Amino acid sequence: MARLQLNGITKVYGDFKAADNVSLDIADGEFLVLLGPSGCGKTTTLRIVAGFIEPTSGSVRLGERDITALPPWKRNAGLVFQSYALFPHMSVAENVAFGLEMRKVPKAEMAPKITEALRLVRLDHLADRLPRQLSGGQQQRVALARALVFRPDVLLLDEPLSNLDAKLRLDVRVEIRELQRKLGLTTVMVTHDQEEALTMADRLVVMSEGRIRQIGSQQDLYERPAEKFVADFVGRSTFIDGRMDGPGRFVSAGGLAVACEGAATGAASLALRPERLALTAAAMPALDNSFPGAVEFISYLGSQVDLHVRLSPKDRVIVQIQNRPEQPLPVIGEQVHIGWSRSTGRVFPS
Amino acid sequence: MALGTAAGMSLAYILLPMFFVIWLAFFAQEIPSFPPEGYSLKWFRAVPGNDRFVSGFVLSLQVALVATAIGLAVGIPAALCLVRTRFPGREAVNNLLLLPLIVPGIVLGIALYVFYVEAELATGWPLLGSLGGLVAGHVLLAIPWTVRLVTASLTGMDRAVEEAAQSLGADRLTTFRRITLPAILPGIVAATLFGFIASFGNLEMSLFLVGPGRTTLPIAILQYLEWKIDPTIAAVSVLQILFIGAVMLLTDRFVNIGRVV
C-alpha cells in the first residue's frame, strides 16, 4: 500500500479541458471518492492514475515512484471496472491468477494466494466456474479478488456498483469498504451516486467541468459547501434567488427579507436544506426567519414527506418533515408557517 | 407452423440441386438421362486417374491455403486498425476492403489481367499466368471475409477487458495474445473458412489468371465439360462437396461457427 499524489494534473483534448489542474494527496490506506456528474473529469482522473490516459501536464506519484510516464502494466494498480471486465474464456481461478502469472509468481505459490483472495470475497467454492455462469454481484466480487490478489499499491474502482441492482448495491458497498479497511488499501473510487459516495468515503472530492470544487469529509461538504454547485450536488437544496442587501440581510426576488450569515453584497442565491426547515401552524417569532405560505404540492415518501410551500409569488421552498402518526399531514392549499435560523441558509454569489 | 413450412421449402430449394448432383454421380450410363439405367461407382474411380482433376485439386488447395494465410495476415491488422482507431476516410477504407465481395469475379479477373499485362510490359516481370499472380488475385477474395468477420468480433468485444489485463501487468503484446486473440478467434476461424472456400471454388477470376499447364479444379471441371457430359463431373463435384463439408465440420469442432456468422 502506498500514498498516492496527483500534482497539477491537466488533460486537454483540443480546446476541451477534461481535467483541469487536479491535485490530490491520498494517504496510505485512505478511501477517497471522486464524485461528480458525468463529464466532470472524475473518470479521466482515475484513468490517468491507472495509466490509460497520459496527462497533458502534471505528475502522479505512487509511494516513492513517479509513475506519470509508466504504462499501465508497470504501475501495480488494481482496477475494478463498471462492466467487471472479466476474461470470458478463463475460469474464475484463472482470472484471479492472471495478475500473479504476469508477475511470474511460481505455480506452487499461486494456488494458496488465489484461494485466499477468493475466500476474501466468499467465492472460493466457485473457482472453476466461467464468468458467464455467475451473477452480476458474483462477477463483481471476482473482479475485486482479481485486483487484490497481487497486493496492488492502490485500488482503483470505476463506478463499481452501478451495474448491480439496488438491493445488492447496499451489501456490496459494505463488503468493499470492510475489505478495504481490513487490507489497509489506498483506494480511489469514482461515482456519480452521492449516497454511495457518502457511505463509503473517508474523504470526498466533488468535481465538475474538470476541476475540483471541494475536498472534505461528508460533514464538510454537507454543512459547509464551498460553492453553489456543491450545495446542489451533495444532499438536496432549494435555491432562492435574490441579492445581499447588507451584512446578514438577503432579499429574495419575491421580496422576502431573510436574516442570514455573510457580509458580501450583490446578486446571490440562498440555499436551504429541506430537512432543516421547520413547519408550524402559527408564526414562530423565536426563529430568525418565519414566513407564512401555502402548501402547493406533497410528495409522500414513506418515512418522510416533502411539502412544496409557496412563500411569495416568486419563491417556493421544499420542506421535508418526518412522517409521524401523531402529526397530521397538511393538505394542499393549507396555510402553514416555515421557519429557519440565521445559520441554516447558505448564501452563494451568483 | 407456417414458419416451419417456409424453412422447409427454403431448405429443399437449397438442397435439391445438390441432391441431383449426388444422384447423378452414381448413374451407370455415360449420357445422363432419366430414369437411370443402373448404378455404378466407376465415375468416382475415374477421378484419381484423371491428371487434370488431380493437379487441379492440388493447385486449388495450394492457392487457397496461401491466399487465405496472406488474407489473414493483411486482414486482421486492418480490422484492428479499423475498429480501434479513428482517422479521416476510415469508412471509405472499410468499404474499399469489402469491394472484392461486391465486384463480379469476372470483372475482377479482367481488371487484374489488364493490369498484369501493363505491369509486365513496364517491368519485364513475368506476371501473366504466373503462380504469384494467381495467388495475389485470390488474396483479394480472402481479404473481405477476414476484415468483415474479424471486425464483427472485435466490435462485440469490451475494451475494458483488455484494459483489465494491462492493469494486471500484461503488456500490449501479451494482452493481444492472451486476451484479444482468444476473444476474436471464432471470427478468425470463420474468416479462414470463408476465405478458403471463396478461393477454392473460384472460377471466373481464375480463368484470367491461370497459365499454361496451371489449372485450378473449377477450371479443370469447366474444361472437361467442354468435351464430355458424363457423370465424372458430378463425381468430382461430390468429392468437392465432401471436402468442403469436412473442412467445415472440422472447424466446427473447434469453434461454433453458428455463433459468429
Per-block mean pLDDT, blocks of 10 residues, chain B (261 long):
88 88 80 77 79 86 93 92 87 86 88 89 83 89 91 88 94 93 88 89 85 84 82 84 85 62 44
Tell me what pLDDT residue B143 has: 92
| Spans of chain A below 70 pLDDT | 1
Contact B163 A71 (CB under 8 A): no
Cell numbers that stand for A5 in this block: 499524489
CB nearest to B161's CB, from A51, A77, A85: A85
Fold of B50-260: MetI-like fold (1.10.3720)
CATH architecture entry for A4-229: 3-Layer(aba) Sandwich (3.40)
**Buried-exposed string A224-237: b where 16+ CB fall within 10 A, e elsewhere:** ebeebbbbbbbbbb
Interface contact A99, partner B, CB < 8 A: yes
What's the whole-number average pLDDT of chain A?
91
Nearest residue on chain A to B183, alpha-carbon basis:
A89
Collapsing DSSP to helix, strand or coil, B19 comes out as helix
Contact B163 A98 (CB under 8 A): no
For residue B167, the surrounding DSSP H or E stretch is helix B159-167
Contact A89 B169 (CB under 8 A): no
Delimiting residues of CATH 1.10.3720.10 domain(s) in chain B: 50-260
Residues of A in contact with B165 (CB under 8 A): 87, 98
CB nearest to A73's CB, from B169, B178, B182: B169
Chain A, 132 to 151: residues with Cβ < 8 Å from chain B are 143, 146-147, 150
Contact A71 B179 (CB under 8 A): no
Tell me what pLDDT residue B261 has: 44
Strand partners, A271: A239, A346
- Disruptive mutation site among B168, B178, B188 for chain A (greatest number of A CBs within 10 Å): B168
Contact A293, A338 (CB under 8 A): yes
Contact A79 B158 (CB under 8 A): no
3-state DSSP helix/strand/coil percent for chain B, to nearest 5? 80, 0, 20
Delimiting residues of CATH 3.40.50.300 domain(s) in chain A: 4-229
Tell me what pLDDT residue B260 has: 47
Residue A85 and residue B158: Cα distance in Å, rounded?
Answer: 7
Delimiting residues of CATH 2.40.50.100 domain(s) in chain A: 236-349
Tell me what pLDDT residue B258 has: 52
Q: pLDDT tens-digit profile of A211-267?
A: 999 999 999 999 999 999 999 999 889 999 999 988 889 999 988 999 998 878 889
Residue B239 and residue B197: Cα distance in Å, rounded?
Answer: 14
Contact A87 B166 (CB under 8 A): no
Q: Does domain A236-349 have CATH number 2.40.50.100?
A: yes
Interface contact A98, partner B, CB < 8 A: yes
Global pTM reads 0.80
Residues of A in contact with B168 (CB under 8 A): 73, 79, 98-99, 102, 146-147, 150
| Environment class of A152 (CB within 10 Å of its CB; exposed 0-12, middle 13-18, buried 19+) | buried
Nearest residue on chain B to A47, alpha-carbon basis:
B163
Residues of A in contact with B174 (CB under 8 A): 102
Interface contact B160, partner A, CB < 8 A: yes
Tell me what pLDDT residue B236 has: 84
